[in-house]
C-alpha cells in the first residue's frame, strides 16, 4: 500500500507531462452557466458560417509563423491571424460543432495554463448575425474555446469528452505535427 501511495504522484505528473496539459475538469460555475446560456441564445441559427485555419503559433513555432505572415494571404479575426481562404467544411459538420459548443457538458471552467505557449486558435468559426459578427475560436493547445459576440466574450475550457471526441478526431482535426 505504501508503494502505491509513493507511486501516485509519479502517475499524476506523468499524465500531465505533455505540452498540451491543461487544468480542465472543473464544472462551470453558476455565473458561467448563465453566460453560456446567453451565448447559446446569441448563437441562434447561424447562416453562412465560415471556418478558417489559424496560422502557426507565434511563440510556439515562431519561424513558421513569421514565414506565413510574410507570405501574406491571411486575415485577422479578434487579434489572431488565419489563412484567408475558408476551409471547405460541410454545413452538417459546422452544425455538429455548433451543437457541441451549445452543450453545457462540452464546457468546463477556464483554468490557467502553465504548460502551453498561450491561447492561439487553431480554428475559428465566423458568421454575421442580425447585429454584428459572431466568432468561436478553438485553441487545441490550451483546450479552450472563446466566443465573441455583440454581448462580449465567453472563454471556457473544452471538456475532455468534447475535446477527445469527434471534434478533434473527425470534424476539425488536430494537427499531428
Check residue 24 and give its pLDDT.
58
Alpha-carbon span 47 to 62, nearest angstrom: 35
% of the chain residues with pLDDT over 90? 71
Kindly report, residue by residue over 70-99, the tens digit of the pLDDT: 999 999 999 999 999 999 999 999 999 999
Provide the phi-psi class of 136: left if phi over 0, else alpha when psi is between -120 and 50, else beta.
beta
Check residue 129 and give its pLDDT.
86
Kindly list the domain boundaries of the chain, sorted by start residue: 36-171
Q: Which residue, 135, 139, 130, 150, is CA-closest to 175?
A: 139
The CATH number of 36-171, from 2.30.30, 2.60.40, 3.30.1490, 3.60.90, is: 3.30.1490
Q: What is the mean pLDDT of residues 138-150?
A: 94
Res. 139: pLDDT tops 80: yes
Q: How confident is the model at residue 128 (pLDDT cuts 50, 70, 90)?
A: very high
Q: Which residue has the cell 471534434?
A: 167
Q: State pTM to two decimals.
A: 0.84
Kindly report, residue by residue over 24-59, the tens digit of the pLDDT: 589 999 999 999 999 999 998 899 999 999 999 999
| 36: helix, strand or coil | helix
Amino acid at each position: 500500500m505504501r508503494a502505491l501511495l509513493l507511486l501516485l504522484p509519479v502517475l499524476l505528473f506523468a499524465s500531465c507531462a505533455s505540452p498540451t496539459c491543461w487544468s480542465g475538469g472543473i464544472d462551470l460555475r453558476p455565473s458561467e452557466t448563465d453566460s453560456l446560456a446567453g451565448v447559446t441564445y446569441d448563437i441562434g441559427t447561424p447562416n453562412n458560417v465560415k471556418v478558417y485555419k489559424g496560422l502557426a503559433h507565434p511563440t510556439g513555432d515562431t519561424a513558421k509563423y513569421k514565414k506565413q505572415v510574410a507570405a501574406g494571404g491571411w486575415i485577422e479575426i479578434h487579434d489572431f491571424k488565419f489563412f484567408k481562404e475558408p476551409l471547405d467544411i460541410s454545413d452538417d459538420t459546422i452544425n455538429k460543432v455548433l451543437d457541441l459548443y451549445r452543450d453545457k457538458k462540452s464546457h468546463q471552467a477556464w483554468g490557467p495554463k502553465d504548460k502551453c505557449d498561450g491561447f492561439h486558435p487553431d480554428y475559428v468559426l465566423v458568421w454575421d448575425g442580425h447585429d454584428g459578427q459572431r466568432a468561436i475560436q478553438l485553441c487545441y493547445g490550451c483546450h479552450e474555446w472563446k466566443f465573441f459576440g455583440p454581448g462580449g466574450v465567453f472563454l471556457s475550457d473544452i471538456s475532455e469528452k468534447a475535446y477527445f471526441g469527434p471534434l478533434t478526431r473527425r470534424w476539425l482535426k488536430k494537427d499531428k505535427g
